[in-house]
Structure 1
Amino acid sequence: MNDPDLLALAGALAQRASGIILEIRARGFETLAKSDLSPVTEADHAAEAAILEGLRGNTTIPVIAEEEIAAGLTTAPGECFWLVDPLDGTREFAAGRDNFTVNIGLVRGGRAVLGAVALPAFRQLYLGRVGFGATRTDADGTRPIAVRTAPAEGLTVLASRHYAGDPALRAYLGAQRIATLGNIGSAAKFVRVAEGAADLYPRLGRTMEWDTAAPQAVVEAAGGTVTLFDGSPLTYGKPGWENPHFVCRGHLFARVTS
């Protein structure tokens, strides 16, 4: 399969997982705690099973998936591998909120090269292939998306709900002119930057590689950047799969200061 085929497969599986998640939400579910005390539900496991079946049944590319890793099932990544988060934002999902996502990303040579991010509750699917553009599909059809240039009136900043009120965020933002600061969960923050609804998403808390590979590909395909705070790339295949702090940006050609 070539990269357009792989992206189409990822998108179809993200949509399939979205349907499973919404069915489980409609009938009710129990929320449990994993060994690291993060929440997990039946929807996480069922969505991951459907994605893994589709990826492994149609490609020979190794798959690294969140719930398999949590269960102690380790797959050697290789030079090219999938990273899967079947339900990113389980806290949002368990609390009855809508900002949860399905993330399926492909890594090659340590970089995220393509990804599918679905927002089941919004019936939205974002696809991105770095260097070839990004799209959003919803009830109105499919259209290309792109990041925006930060407006003169100030930045729209998104941050994690889990870290709302973090003083480190205020310190990072410093004297920049902020029009809006919102807190939501999951990779939804990335895609809002990718489609030009927000300008900046600084991440100062813990994330794992399966949280970020797919949405990073969408943002970069849409013309934005996802880097470490020193400007170096956010890369993949790190020991333990944990990311350092990073920042996701649209077009920020200069600091917008007050």
Structure 2
Amino acid sequence: WAVHVGLAIDGEAKVGAVALPGLNGGVVLRSDRIAALPEPAATPRLVVSRTRPAKEALAVAEAIGGELIAMGSAGAKAMAVVRGQAEIYLHSGGQYQWDNCAPVAVAKAHGLHCSRIDGSPLIYNAPDTELPDLLICRTQWAEQVQSALRAMVPG
């Protein structure tokens, strides 16, 4: 599980902190304390929900030869990418702005790609508080993930 504190300015996640109190000694990742990303794994790892992994994430994993890692909490999954435990977090089951503003601010500060799954920007402080999907990944995987997602769309 995770605790999020985030600030969006002009619709963009700018400042954030994500606490992971269940980890040994507790860990807090912040947008103002940047650590170098660990080396990526040779096989891309995708974090997915323990109870209901998104069909899009399953399809992307198959398309790119990725390994699935089941995990709880949106913040924990996003921070798994920041901490080098995964390369990709793709979520398509719907969230609210407060579910991912802080994780996105932290991930962006660490140089990760953060967008909707179609590549469009995540917009915060919008009247509709729902954000239907999210992609946080290492920049080198963004185009490949989005290409695999486009291939899923008939037509």
SS at 1:173 equivalent:
helix
Residue 72 of structure 2: aligned partner: 185
**Are residues 1:204 and 2:102 paired?**
no
SS in 1 for 2:139: coil
Specify the alignment match of 1:146 in structure 2. Answer: 37
1:247 paired to 2:150: no
Q: Deviations over 1:2-55 (max 9, x none)?
A: xxxxxxxxxxxxxxxxxxxxxxxxxxxxxxxxxxxxxxxxxxxxxxxxxxxxxx
**Which of the residues 169, 172, 178 maps onto 2:57?**
169
TM-score, structure 1 normalization: 0.50
Give every structure 1 segment of 4 or more consecutive aligned residues whose post-TM-superposition deviation is greater than 4 Å.
none
Match of 1:107 in 2: 8
Shift of 1:171: 2.4
Q: Distance in 2 between matches of 1:127 and 1:230?
A: 26
Identify the match of residue 155 of structure 1 among 41, 44, 48.
44
Higher helix share: 1
Q: For residue 153 of structure 2, what is the aligned residue in structure 1?
A: none
Report deviation, 1:160. Answer: 1.7
- Indicate the structure whose relative CO is greater, using CA pairs within 8 Å and at least 6 residues apart: 2
> What residue ranges of structure 2 are gaps of 5+ in the alignment?
146-155
**C-alpha distance in structure 2 between counterparts of 1:219 and 1:237, whole Å:** 19
8 Å CA contact retained: 2:46, 2:61: no
Counterpart contact for 1:147–1:222, Cα < 8 Å: no
For 1:104 and 1:247, the matched residues in 2 are separated by 19
Alignment partner of 1:240: what SS? Answer: coil
Structure-2-length-normalised TM-score: 0.81
- The structure having more radius of gyration, on CA atoms, is 1
- Tell me how far apart the structure 2 counterparts of residues 255 and 154 of structure 1 sit (CA, whole Å): 14
| Per-residue deviation, 1:174 | 4.1
Contact (CA 8 Å) 1:229, 1:247: kept in 2 or not?
yes
Q: Is the 8 A contact 1:110 1:237 kept in 2?
A: yes
8 A contact 1:199–1:252 mirrored in 2: no
Segments of structure 1 that go 5 or more residues without pairing to the other structure are: 1-99, 135-143
- Letter paired with 1:224: L
